[in-house]
Structure 1
């Protein structure tokens, strides 16, 4: 009986030790030790999530919402995707809102080679799947798509660029029954689910919002409002906490499913 008990205890601790060896201590690249990194990448982990954004006005939420959102998204899905999270690229091509207080504008001439070297560095470190979770649109999207495609072809890696708010527009309509906007109810609700202290609804008034113009009608720089609505009369931040939490979970699930399906099809094609 004692021999059986000893064998059971030995097997238990052996299994526990093996589990610990197969579990990574953190998913964040800037928090992991270099020796542990080498133990997991690329043998056990070959996918990396790169959050990208910028600093610009966002109505009643934080100027760094475009960074807050994709980083929180990456943290929410990293385990499910068996991915590491690269440090967020916090500065970007801000565009028509660059004149607002606290905003930063990085030129395309500076941004494109910088992001190229980051992607090449991720490739050099052994990642096969480089997933860019982009939190900021405008001209930044085109640059990311172009550079990511070039690096994929040059380095023999696989890249995916996702603008989460656009990809999840159907989730916005499902949860809120109307369209959103830049710093509209969709983006504001997502931030509310992450950290309610970053949302200041007491500062909101309807004059802060302007519907984006239809193509070919008008344009203004700086854009006259820090909230840009996709549809006239829709997208004001009139949601509750339950809706915010639901939206956060459903957006993350939709984005994670896209990533998993894309990787599955890459593998199926032998790419």
Structure 2
């Protein structure tokens, strides 16, 4: 065989091997089953599962609780060498379920559903199952309980993250005040992802109500689509530079939490 031909064959083989080392997509929705088998669990053992719901969010999209963790997962999947599971778009909405376009899944339906999803991810070979949760309230409690149960039952490792809570210090760092549901911080995060989802022309401060302190008052449905964590602060400001800064700093904080948790799991031999 002539040397140039041999060299070409060797180079082609080399590039084919290199191509097989790099996954074609991080999204489980888009990957082929044969490629999945080539990477999980031998080369990829971490999966990111975005969870949220559909509910009002002031002047941003009803699906903000899905948009935020999904964008977060896409931003950090390469760094974590993780796949991204399809977003769970419906959740336990609670006190805002009466607003137009909102959906509420009962805990009785949601709990076994999320359990089967986590069990399915474990069955497919993932060791680290990271839930990036975009919606709080009763949904947080269910996710934490079910994730802990599945971890114990199947010997996998689970982490449930409410991103806005973990990054509460970032809110003060960037905006010098507290945020809220569909408030300053969450609106900024969505603005950084897709400005077309933010309808500034529809905004009025009257859309916001501060959440009551425990034992003072309670309204169902909650009367406003923007809920402030503290009275007099957290109103959206639509500042593009701050939105970008907030997005980047929030993701950096969440990424560090995930990396540190996996590293410590590994150190402990869990």
The alignment's TM-score, normalised by the length of structure 1, stands at 0.96
Q: Equivalents in 1 of 2:178, 2:250: separation in Å?
A: 14
Secondary structure of the corresponding residue to residue 43 of structure 1: coil
Secondary structure of the corresponding residue to residue 105 of structure 2: coil
Moved more, 236-245 or 195-204: 236-245
Contact 2:187 2:238 in 1 (8 A): no
Superposition pairs for residues 97-246 of structure 1, below 5 Å?
Answer: 97-246=96-245
The reply on whether 1:82 has 2:81 as its aligned counterpart is: yes
Post-superposition offset of 1:204: 0.5
Q: Equivalents in 1 of 2:269, 2:41: separation in Å?
A: 17
Instruction: Provide structure 2 residue ranges, at least 5 long, that are not aligned to the other structure.
Output: none
Q: Equivalents in 2 of 1:192, 1:8: separation in Å?
A: 51
Q: Equivalents in 2 of 1:12, 1:200: separation in Å?
A: 53
Post-superposition offset of 1:16: 2.9
Instruction: Provide structure 1 residue ranges, at least 5 long, that are not aligned to the other structure.
Output: none
Superimposed CA distance per residue, residues 200-225 of structure 1 (whole angstroms, 9 cap, x where no aligned partner): 01101011000011111111100010
Contact 1:122 1:130 in 2 (8 A): yes
Q: Equivalents in 1 of 2:226, 2:151: separation in Å?
A: 35
Post-superposition offset of 1:242: 1.2
Q: Equivalents in 2 of 1:253, 1:10: separation in Å?
A: 43
Q: Equivalents in 2 of 1:241, 1:207: separation in Å?
A: 22
Q: Equivalents in 2 of 1:145, 1:233: separation in Å?
A: 32
Number of residues of Structure 1 aligned to a counterpart in Structure 2: 269
Structure 2 CA distance for partners of 1:14 and 1:52, relative to 1, 3 Å: same
Post-superposition offset of 1:173: 0.6
Contact 1:52 1:90 in 2 (8 A): yes
